[in-house]
Chain A
């Protein structure tokens, strides 16, 4: 992009493109699609910069879909411009990132975000294949993603939105109403946020997919709800309590107070990760369901065993007495 002699070098030019970055499901089953283009049609829902919008009909009885985020944002996460799912696997960003161990580099707040978006646009233009380097990611992660991905295209996402008047029982349009006349269902998947889905934080769909996978991988939450700790085995000898703590806090994205303590038993190369409550423990299990890498070595994760009730006041997890007790548990657990 050539700037004139007096223009501000940091000023963002307009984003223009000839064809949108879309997944096959969003385009619909019909190979002949008529698409309209509008330069500077809307602002990107993530970086709020104006971009070229495209609008098309993905099949009979569907709503008209349009591109929601700009090409720069889509390229930096390798996702579709409308549905924000990964182009290769059709999975939410959070699932793909946890499976491949990618860190989220895009800042989320105001001026940082605009600066980042602007600069990454420059880098992408120079020919880099985008922020995701699939070659470097390990194949185990890719195999996992292939298994998690759905095999058939689900066109449920292209359906018209729900008629809000019908939900109140007051839709006057009747048959000619283009919106869906169904009652809305309220479950944990109803509250989705486009920014959360894009950045891969707090995405309910991703959580569901990861939880299902974790359950299949033997990490189902145990029936005893008083168990709030995870049991890690095959730790590398160089692992420290800090490394484990760091893993759960940063890459798993858990709040700082969720982790009650981490007890490392270097002799048997195991560790106990205690959480403050059951919910945080389950969140930790979901994140561990895919892969836990500490100091470069993949670690096995299991649920801890229920603690026998201690009548005397030796409750705190840290302390030599309880460490010995845990070591006993560890050896008997193997």
Chain B
């Protein structure tokens, strides 16, 4: 919904041109995912590609700034403001134990059946019974514990 250019939006700071190509790629993937047919998929499964692209795009920007330190602070802030990355998700990634979190919904205990619980994708594979494959219903995540 955002990323509409109005007269109020500020132009991007320098350094945007290098990453613009990759962001455009993500944009295209997102549009493809949005227009995919729903045939052969479960109701919950139709949203999984969207959540996945949001995760990888945010991951890309998070890596650029925090890990590789390849972009400036202004550019990073501008990207978050224009919602190229999910700021809430990145806020969780900064916390220990949540470095590989799949989406914000899977730790939201209000959405869960029992109080204070999380989605099954947060459980480390070591704790699950052998051979059990899980795909969480919210985002299709197969396990986002930091130890996996």
Using CB atoms, name the residue of chain B closest to A36: B113
State the Cβ distance, B116 to closest chain A Cβ, in Å. Answer: 12
- B2 interface residue per 8 A CB criterion: no
Contact between chains at B114 and A175 (CB < 8 Å) = no
Given contacts A34-B114, A36-B113, contact A172 B131 (CB under 8 A): no
How far, in whole Å, are A55 and B113 apart by their CA atoms in the complex? 10
Query: 11 extra interchain contacts, Cβ-Cβ under 8 A, other than A173-B135, A175-B131, A176-B132?
Result: A34-B114, A36-B113, A36-B114, A55-B113, A60-B129, A172-B40, A174-B133, A175-B133, A176-B133, A176-B134, A176-B135
Mask: chain B, 123-139; 1 = CB below 8 Å from A; 0 = not = 00000010111110000
Using CB atoms, name the residue of chain A closest to B133: A176
Complex interface residues of chain A between 139 and 176 (CB less than 8 A to chain B): 172-176
Q: Tell me which residues across on chain B come within 8 A of A172, comparing CB atoms.
A: 40
How many contacts A-B (CB < 8 Å)?
14
Q: Tell me which residues across on chain A come within 8 A of B129, comparing CB atoms.
A: 60
Mask: chain B, 19-37; 1 = CB below 8 Å from A; 0 = not = 0000000000000000000
How far, in whole Å, are A34 and B131 apart by their CA atoms in the complex? 24
How far, in whole Å, are A175 and B134 apart by their CA atoms in the complex? 9
How far, in whole Å, are A175 and B129 apart by their CA atoms in the complex? 13
14 pairs from A and B in contact (CB 8 Å cutoff): A34-B114, A36-B113, A36-B114, A55-B113, A60-B129, A172-B40, A173-B135, A174-B133, A175-B131, A175-B133, A176-B132, A176-B133, A176-B134, A176-B135
How far, in whole Å, are A173 and B40 apart by their CA atoms in the complex? 11
Q: How many residues on chain B are close to A (CB under 8 Å)?
A: 9
Mask: chain A, 167-199; 1 = CB below 8 Å from B; 0 = not = 000001111100000000000000000000000
Complex interface residues of chain B between 72 and 103 (CB less than 8 A to chain A): none
State the Cβ distance, B46 to closest chain A Cβ, in Å. Answer: 14
Q: Tell me which residues across on chain B come within 8 A of A34, comparing CB atoms.
A: 114
Mask: chain B, 50-72; 1 = CB below 8 Å from A; 0 = not = 00000000000000000000000
Mask: chain B, 38-55; 1 = CB below 8 Å from A; 0 = not = 001000000000000000
State the Cβ distance, B128 to closest chain A Cβ, in Å. Answer: 11
State the Cβ distance, A14 to closest chain B Cβ, in Å. Answer: 22
Q: Tell me which residues across on chain B come within 8 A of A173, comparing CB atoms.
A: 135
How far, in whole Å, are A60 and B132 apart by their CA atoms in the complex? 12
How far, in whole Å, are A172 and B135 apart by their CA atoms in the complex? 13
Using CB atoms, name the residue of chain A closest to B117: A34
How far, in whole Å, are A172 and B133 apart by their CA atoms in the complex? 13
State the Cβ distance, A179 to closest chain B Cβ, in Å. Answer: 12
Q: Tell me which residues across on chain A come within 8 A of B40, comparing CB atoms.
A: 172
Mask: chain A, 193-237; 1 = CB below 8 Å from B; 0 = not = 000000000000000000000000000000000000000000000
Q: Tell me which residues across on chain B come within 8 A of A36, comparing CB atoms.
A: 113-114
State the Cβ distance, B144 to closest chain A Cβ, in Å. Answer: 16
How far, in whole Å, are A174 and B134 apart by their CA atoms in the complex? 11
How far, in whole Å, are A176 and B129 apart by their CA atoms in the complex? 13
Mask: chain A, 42-85; 1 = CB below 8 Å from B; 0 = not = 00000000000001000010000000000000000000000000
Q: Tell me which residues across on chain A come within 8 A of B134, comparing CB atoms.
A: 176
Q: 7 tightest A-B contacts by CB?
A: A176-B133, A175-B133, A36-B113, A176-B135, A34-B114, A36-B114, A176-B134
Q: Tell me which residues across on chain B come within 8 A of A60, comparing CB atoms.
A: 129
Q: Tell me which residues across on chain B come within 8 A of A55, comparing CB atoms.
A: 113
Q: Tell me which residues across on chain B come within 8 A of A174, comparing CB atoms.
A: 133
State the Cβ distance, A64 to closest chain B Cβ, in Å. Answer: 9
State the Cβ distance, B132 to closest chain A Cβ, in Å. Answer: 8
State the Cβ distance, A219 to closest chain B Cβ, in Å. Answer: 49
How far, in whole Å, are A36 and B115 apart by their CA atoms in the complex? 10
Using CB atoms, name the residue of chain B closest to A176: B133
Q: Tell me which residues across on chain B come within 8 A of A176, comparing CB atoms.
A: 132-135
Most buried by A among B40, B131, B133: B133
How far, in whole Å, are A60 and B131 apart by their CA atoms in the complex? 14
